[in-house]
Amino acid sequence: MRVGFNLPQIGPAAGPSSIVNAAKRAEELGYDSLWVTERLLYPIKPQIPYAWSPDGLFPEAYKRVFDPLEALTFAAAHTTRVTLGTSVLDIPFYNPVLLARRLTTLDLLSAGRLRVGLGQGWSPDEHDAAGASMKGRGPRADEFIKVLKAIWSTDPVEFHGKYFHFPKSIIQPKPVQKPHPPIYLAANSSSALKRTATLADGWNPVGVPIEGLKQTTTQLKNMVQEAGRNPADFKVVLRANLAVTQEPVVKDRWMFSGTLKQIGEDVRSVRELGIVDELFFDPTFSPDTRSEQDFLGHMEQMRKLL
CATH of domain 2-305: 3.20.20.30
Do 33 and 114 touch, CB atoms closer than 8 A?
A: no
- Phi and psi at residue 118, to the nearest 5°: -125, 150
| Structural domain spans, the chain | 2-305
> 169 forms bridges with which residues in the sheet?
157
Model's pTM, two decimal places? 0.96
Radius of gyration of the chain (CA): 19
Determine how β-strand 83-86 pairs with β-strand 114-119.
parallel
Q: Tens of pLDDT along the chain (306 residues)?
A: 999 999 999 999 999 999 999 999 999 999 999 999 999 999 999 999 998 888 999 999 999 999 999 999 999 999 999 999 999 999 999 999 999 999 999 999 999 999 999 999 999 999 999 999 999 999 999 999 999 999 999 999 999 999 999 999 999 999 999 999 999 999 999 999 999 999 999 999 999 999 999 999 999 999 999 999 999 999 999 999 999 999 999 988 999 999 999 999 999 999 999 999 999 999 999 999 999 999 999 999 999 998
